[in-house]
Structure 1
Amino acid sequence: MTRSKFTEEQIIAIMREQEACAKTAEVCRRHGISGATFYARKAKFGGMKPSEAKRLKALEDENAKLERLLAEACSTTRR
């Protein structure tokens, strides 16, 4: 998965810009993203505050770490 060139706070700011009656196509063009990317991010971050997005990112990171630890533990017990 590629990393976004925008932080969660910037993505939320883009969503709020569109919610403030700006046209979606114009917002996408101004920020250099596709419409599909905009709507995918809106599905994930829509209605969030920046603090909530930081918490979501922290939980996703922690979940990934725990999944790696579990996979490692399962692979060592099979040997």
Structure 2
Amino acid sequence: MKQSRFTEERIIAALREHEAGSKTGDVCRKHGISSATFYKWKAKYGGLDVSEARRLKVLADENAKLKKLLAEAMFDNAMLKDLNSKKW
């Protein structure tokens, strides 16, 4: 996955600026992002604190790791079943 230029702190700071009364276009121009990116961030991080956003990222990384382990285990299991079903 592509590494983001923006940390959770910067994302939440941009969202807080908008909540404080700045216009969406001004916030996007200041931070160099598109309005689509801003609204994507708002959907994902809206209402979160920095610590909650970090926890969300840690949980997402852990979830991806577990999914990878499960996929590898299922692949190994399928290979063993395939080998076992063949007649020697």
TM-score, normalised by the number of residues in structure 1: 0.96
Structure 2 counterpart of 1:30: 30
Match of 2:61 in 1: 61
**Structure 1 residue runs without a partner (length 5+):** none
Task: Identify the structure with bigger relative contact order (alpha carbons < 8 Å, sequence gap 6+).
Answer: 1
Deviations 1:26-46 (A, max 9, x none): 100110100000000000000
Runs of 4+ in structure 1 off by over 3 angstroms are: none
Unaligned runs of 5+ in 2: 80-88
Shift of 1:4: 1.5
Q: Write out per-residue CA displacement over residues 28-72 of structure 1, whole angstroms, 9 at most, x where no aligned residue.
A: 011010000000000000010000001000100000000000000
Identity in percent:
62
Paired positions, count: 79
What is the DSSP-based 3-state SS (H/G/I as helix, E as strand, rest coil) of the residue aligned with 2:2? coil
Take 1:34 and 1:5, find their aligned partners in 2: how far apart are those partners? 14
